[in-house]
Copies of this chain bind each other. A is one copy, B any other.
Amino acid sequence: MDDKKAQAFIKYINKYVSLTLAEETLLLTKVSYRKYLKGQYVVQQGDVCKNSGFVISGCTRTFFVNDEGEEHIVMFSIENWWASEIGSFVTQLPSDYNVQCIENTELIQLSYTEQEELFKAIPKLERFFRLILEKAFVASQKRIVKSFSLNAKEQYLQFKNQYPEVELRIPQYMVASYLGISKEFLSKIKNQLIIEE
């Protein structure tokens, strides 16, 4: 991993807590850098998620397959986002989700065992993880609220507005899957929006 990538990672953490130089150095010796090709899985449904990950470049989708074999996307992650299957990572129980790269993707990963060690050496990291969990929780709650109170068109417009960069990078049927609607209906909505203008 080159220094530029390491610095992007450190910078992200320092948005939440202030690490000393010594702590930064220690942390960097404990993380690992890994490249994935488009289509590869970072975590598979049923496996325990061993690593928490920060996206240096690329894009992942987190999805699950239900009993009927249908795929449902619950989130996307792009550069400078945390992309772990947090639920499985923190509980060390089998994951309900797959995390798959939909572009070639570079991650900086921190293993569960290393993390436990690091919490002892750098207690500030405990605070860091609490803070990003808070953020993840709030985002998750907001999604529930939206799915309750907005119809499909409104949810699409919100998504487009909130993550414009994401929408441009992923196929439309994955947007539909994220919104919980059929790809045909999303196509109809987009067409309606064009007519309305």
CB–CB B72/A148 < 8 A: yes
CB–CB A72/B137 < 8 A: no
Which residues in B have their C-beta under 8 angstroms from that of A127? 126
Known interface pairs A123-B123, A149-B66, A149-B70. Does A86 touch B134 (Cβ–Cβ under 8 Å)?
A: yes
Which residues in B have their C-beta under 8 angstroms from that of A123? 123, 126
Query: Which A89-135 residues have C-beta < 8 A from chain B?
Result: 90-91, 96, 123, 126-127, 129-130, 133-134
- Whether A21 is near chain B, meaning CB under 8 Å from some CB there, is no
Copies in the complex: 2
CB–CB B66/A141 < 8 A: no
User: Nearest Cβ in chain B — how far from A85, in angstroms?
Assistant: 9
- Whether A22 is near chain B, meaning CB under 8 Å from some CB there, is no
User: Nearest Cβ in chain B — how far from A62, in angstroms?
Assistant: 10
Known interface pairs A72-B149, A126-B126, A126-B127. Does A140 touch B133 (Cβ–Cβ under 8 Å)?
A: no
Which residues in B have their C-beta under 8 angstroms from that of A137? 86-87, 133, 136-137, 140
